[in-house]
Amino acid sequence: MRRGKALWTGVTLAAGIALLTTAVAGQRGPQQLSVTVSQIKPNIYWAAGGGGNSGIIIGDNGVIVIDPKTTAEGAKLLLAEIAKITPKPVTHFFSTHSDADHWGGADAFPASAMWITSEGFRKELLAIEKMGDAPHKRVPSRLVKRGKESVTYNGVRLDLYHWVPGHTSGDLVIHVPEERLVFTGDVTSNARPEPTLHAHKGANPDGWIAIVNNILKLNGELYVSGHGTMENFTPAWLQTRVKEATETNNRVKAMVAEGRSLGDIKMTLKMAPGPASGNPTYLEVAYWNALLKR
């Protein structure tokens, strides 16, 4: 009897936890969308929520935004937060790459604002449009070419690096040299225990490692990532990330050279399981890359 009662209590407790979990999950639905702004420099902020992290740079005559959130709703929340900080209009906004959480809100931005992305972004957006998966009207106003371009908007000097392939083949890294601040998009995302590489957009570990090493040479004080918080915005975090990823890539290459299977390599390296999204893990991308280059 006692054992039965204990079991029953356990079931009730489990049901209670399940209900609680459902309630918490419900609170995170689209109706609860929120954007939180944090200051990092006198005139520079980053904004979490509603998509990838955004950057906000207040210049002499207007505001420059990096990544306009996933939807019009998120973009409007971001614009409302900016209006609380400054009466200056948004004159320019960037998209760091072609994943929707970094550009989907573009239509909600002021029509007069310039939308700047990269040549690689445009190529990927065309492929997304072909699949009928891009419900937007707006097209970019400027495409940054491969390599480096420098611009000055609202008195703020920005160095733009279209180095690829990193997280995708359309990445744009935005450096504010005067502030030693770098907006990296998802090249340095902490969304997973290991780097997130979109192989379907041309990413591979060799390219990613080279780009992160280049980013570290910019000698930034802070690297604002497309996902994560201040803890993964530091050079030290990024140095550890690239060191571990380089070691994994080298070990995978060595094992592929020995003719070992993906399953065997996974067992040997004991990597964390991949996400439910179905996108391949870093190790899987490293395996295919090593196999292709063999």
Q: Which stretch binds Zn ion (CB under 5 A): 91-99, 142-150, 167-175, 242-250?
A: 91-99
Number of neighbours of residue 23 by Cβ within 10 angstroms: 9
Among 50, 52, 120, 165, which residue sits at the site for Zn ion (rule: CB under 5 A)? 52
Pairing of strands 63-66, 54-58: antiparallel
Beta strands in 125-190 (DSSP E): 142-144, 147-153, 156-162, 173-176, 181-185
Q: Which stretch binds Zn ion (CB under 5 A): 21-29, 46-54, 205-213, 259-267?
A: 46-54
Residues 92, 113: contact at Cβ < 8 Å?
yes
Q: Which stretch binds Zn ion (CB under 5 A): 116-124, 157-165, 179-187, 283-291?
A: 179-187
Number of neighbours of residue 71 by Cβ within 10 angstroms: 20
The binding track of 213-242 with respect to Zn ion, each residue x by CB under 5 A or -, is: -------------x----------------
The binding track of 104-143 with respect to Zn ion, each residue x by CB under 5 A or -, is: ----------------------------------------
Residues 269, 251: contact at Cβ < 8 Å?
yes
CB of 192 to Zn ion, least distance (A): 11
Q: What DSSP designation does 167 have?
A: S
Residues 190, 228: contact at Cβ < 8 Å?
yes
Give 22-30's long-range contacts (Cβ < 8 A, gap of 24+): 30/73
Specify the residue, 162 or 253, whose C-beta has the smaller distance to Zn ion: 162
By C-alpha distance, which of 180, 34, 186, 182 is closest to 97? 186
Among 179, 186, 194, 284, which residue sits at the site for Zn ion (rule: CB under 5 A)? 186
Specify the residue, 171 or 186, whose C-beta has the smaller distance to Zn ion: 186
Residues in the chain: 294
Among 47, 50, 92, 101, which residue sits at the site for Zn ion (rule: CB under 5 A)? 101
Q: Which stretch binds Zn ion (CB under 5 A): 49-57, 172-180, 193-201, 241-249?
A: 49-57
The answer to whether 74 contacts Zn ion (rule: CB under 5 A) is no
Q: Which residue is nearest to Zn ion (CB)?
A: 52
* Dist CA 10 CA 13 (whole Å): 5
The residues that touch Zn ion, with contacts defined as CB under 5 A, are 52, 99, 101, 186, 226
